[in-house]
Amino acid sequence: MQVALFMYFKVCRMTVEEQLIEYAKQGKLVTHKCTECGHLHLSTAYYCLKCGSKGFEDVVLDGVGSIATYTIITVAPAGFEKYTPYAFVILQLDDTPLRISGFMAGIATPAELPVGTRAHITGFDERGIIIEKQ
Ligand SMILES: [Zn+2]
């Protein structure tokens, strides 16, 4: 029983991730809107954080917003040295309560990326969601 549940969970996660990647490559973000109360979530949510419902419909948003905060990475994990320096950014999406994390290349100092900078999703690669200034 445990094995079956684990497999089911794994298959579901892959599907959600593949969908996220496909839309990110088009500059979009797929989200889950609660069919009971309308609350919007990232597609990784399994139940509504507001009402507990498990009913969702996909809503695809433009991956556009402004930088809420970020961390500059100067010491990369193994295999990612070629990307440094870069920023791990949190993008506040326009007209939603949602924030998504991603990677922005070529950011070495805070002066290069003021909080509030307009930015958008431009793709997905081994780093995850790629975000660039607009
Ligand atoms: Zn809900």
19-68 tens-digit pLDDT: 889 999 999 999 999 999 999 999 888 899 999 999 999 999 999 999 99
Q: 11: CA distance to ligand 1 center in Å?
A: 24
Taking only Cα atoms into account, the Rg of the chain, rounded to an integer number of angstroms, comes to: 16
Q: Which residues surround ligand 1, an ion (CB under 5 A)?
A: 34, 36-37, 39, 48, 50-51, 53
CA atoms 47, 48, 53, 55: torsion sign: negative
Give the span between the Cα atoms of 110 and 73, in whole angstroms: 11
Would you say 74 and 84 are in contact if contact means Cβ atoms under 8 Å apart? yes
CA-nearest of 38, 67, 65 to 50 is: 38
pLDDT at 15: 74
Compute the distance from residue 36 Cα to the ligand 1 centre, in Å: 5
Give per-residue pLDDT as tens, 3-16: 444 444 444 555 78
What is the location of CATH 2.40.50 in the chain? 63-133
State pTM to two decimals. 0.84
Return the closest-CA partner of residue 65 out of 30, 107, 21, 96: 96
Question: What CATH number has the domain spanning 63-133?
Answer: 2.40.50
Ligand 1: centre distance to CA 8 (Å): 23
